[in-house]
Amino acid sequence: MNLPAVPNADLCTMCGFCAQACPPHALRWVENPRETRLVLAPADCDGCGKCVQVCEFKAMTLVPAPSPAGSSVGDEGAVILCSSPVVPCRNCGAPIASKAELAYIVRQIGEAKWQNYCLDCRGIA
């Protein structure tokens, strides 16, 4: 069976579509104040490839099990496919979004002052 992998993490924007399209919910987003991770529960994956189909950035591919390329094992047997540090608000330090998400926004609309602030601080910055 084939499992999803993210061989080039720079292509992943952390958009989340792959996890949303995963019928058995084998792909999950794990977030904490410092990092956003895309993780795979290999035992739950049926190898359908829907995650690869919805990835418009071609960051995801299927590879032969049991060891997806470029990944490391995390908690409870979950395989970390991709991770990105969370960017803190310049004013209050609250998490804004992952660095990968913000980089995608900049590529789409250019730099903007508000991108460096959380929703609460944007009005006062």
**DSSP letter string over the chain?**
-EEEE-S-GGG-----HHHHH-TT--EEEEE-SSEEEEEE-GGG-----HHHHH-TT---EEEETT--TT-EE-GGG-EEEEEEEEEEPTTT--EEEEHHHHHHHHHHH---GGGGS-TTTTTT-
Residue 67 is predicted with a pLDDT of 52
- pLDDT, one tens digit for every residue, the chain (125 residues): 899 999 999 999 999 999 999 999 999 999 998 999 999 999 999 999 999 999 999 999 999 986 544 455 555 678 999 999 999 999 999 999 999 999 999 999 999 888 899 999 998 76
Task: Look at the domain 2-84 and name its fold.
Answer: Alpha-Beta Plaits (3.30.70)
Q: Where are the domains of the chain?
A: 2-84, 86-116
pTM higher than 0.85, yes or no?
no
Residue 58 is predicted with a pLDDT of 95
